[in-house]
Amino acid sequence: MTNHHHDSIRAVEWANGALKLLDQRLLPQQRTYVVLENARDTAQAITDMVVRGAPAIGVTAAYGVVLAARACYARSSTTWQGDIEADLDVLARSRPTAVNLFWALDRMRGHLAHVSGDPYEPLLAEARRIHEEDIAANRHMGQLGAALIAGSSQRPCAVLTHCNTGSLATGGYGTALGVIRAAYAAGKINQVFADETRPWMQGARLTAWELVEDNIPVTLVVEGAGAHLMKQGAVHWVIVGADRIAANGDTANKIGTYNLAIVARYHGAKFMVVAPTSTVDMTLSNGTGIPIEIRSADEILNHTGTRVAALGAAAWNPAFDVTPAELIDAIVTERGVVLSPTPQKWPI
């Protein structure tokens, strides 16, 4: 397979003057697109998981600002720069944990002040840059992560990944899944385990789909299989993405990531976090300040619209957890690799 083929999926596109999102709630059964014309619908699409994954949320929000600016400027060419703040607030409230959202909104906001005249073209150009830079960062991280895997083992090895960190979760190519793509292409990985990732099944539905599309063999395991799998020595690296990394390297990622990090350390597997610097939050000295999204109990009580839990049961549904830096063997960013992150070494 060519690299071009490895990069054929796009979750977020700007097409015909509108934002086009691949509806990730319906994959892999249906390939349906949602077309968005305004910022409020864009925010709702992020909340509702039409688009998800930290960098993809950031890219989407950047295009959402373009939609907001176009509407505000059409209403008033003199007050639009103030008027747009309400839309920026709506976008900022769409999901709380992935810092890429706030990073992208800040970057777009920084551009607003410099625009004179119609903001549409300059802001669209900036959103496209955010998108393209994310893909370039992913490609670079893919090379860095693959080299790390190559240096850690003489023979091709097996890896386990959690959630979906691929083309669907980013501008394109992927973070952790980008490393897996690059390392597989280089012959450094011979087996990829993906876990289901409850309750949205990003592993089963999205990661497995991306890998199958790329002709990379994938073996699905249930959410709780990680410990049993690693006990057998079947996994050399656990490779995951991130939604927010604090200044000391503590890393928020999809709920269940922390479990895998503990199990990996106990069983001697290595643990790699792959994320662009747009995922780093230098305002937080450690992970305790990272806001963890609590989603609806219905996501656990029901499955694909059918009630599965006993009537009367309550449910608690945090969408993310925080893995302490001490359990992380490597953080890979587009600026380089940090081994065993400490506040002295991280960030770079």
Residue of 36, 163, 194, 322 interacting with ligand MRU (CB under 6 A) = 163
Residue of 199, 203, 241, 341 interacting with ligand MRU (CB under 6 A) = 241
Query: Which residues are CB-contacts of 335 (< 8 A; sequence separation ≥ 6)?
Result: 277, 347, 348
Q: Which two tokens stand for residue 16?
A: 């015909």
Which region, judged by CB under 6 A, interacts with ligand MRU, from 67-75, 127-135, 240-248, 263-271? Answer: 240-248
Under rule CB under 6 A, residue 211 binds ligand MRU: no
Under rule CB under 6 A, residue 226 binds ligand MRU: no
Inter-axis angle of helices 39-47 and 54-75, to 10 degrees? 160
What are 246's strand-pairing partners? 281
Distances (CA, A) of 324 to 157, 202, 256, 273, 300: 25, 23, 13, 12, 26
Under rule CB under 6 A, residue 169 binds ligand MRU: yes
User: CA 115 from chain center: how many Å?
Assistant: 30
Q: Where are the beta strands (DSSP E) in the chain?
A: 12-15, 18-22, 33-36, 157-161, 189-195, 218-221, 237-240, 244-246, 251-254, 270-274, 280-281, 302-303, 306-307, 320-323, 330-333, 336-339
Residue of 170, 207, 278, 323 interacting with ligand MRU (CB under 6 A) = 170
List the Cα angle 335/338/340 in 5-degree steps: 165
Under rule CB under 6 A, residue 58 binds ligand MRU: no
What string marks each residue from 245 to 284 as x (binds ligand MRU by CB under 6 A) or -?
--------xx------------------------------
CB of 312 to ligand MRU, least distance (A): 27
Query: Which residues are CB-contacts of 15 (< 8 A; sequence separation ≥ 6)?
Result: none
Residues in 91-150 that interact with ligand MRU by CB under 6 A: 98
What are 274's strand-pairing partners? 332
Residue of 7, 53, 103, 107 interacting with ligand MRU (CB under 6 A) = 53
Measured from the CB atom, is 40 or 244 closer to ligand MRU?
244
- Please identify every residue annotated as catalytic: 243
Which region, judged by CB under 6 A, interacts with ligand MRU, from 32-40, 53-61, 69-77, 143-151? Answer: 53-61
Residues that bind ligand MRU (CB under 6 A): 52-55, 98, 163, 165, 169-170, 175, 202, 241-243, 253-254, 319
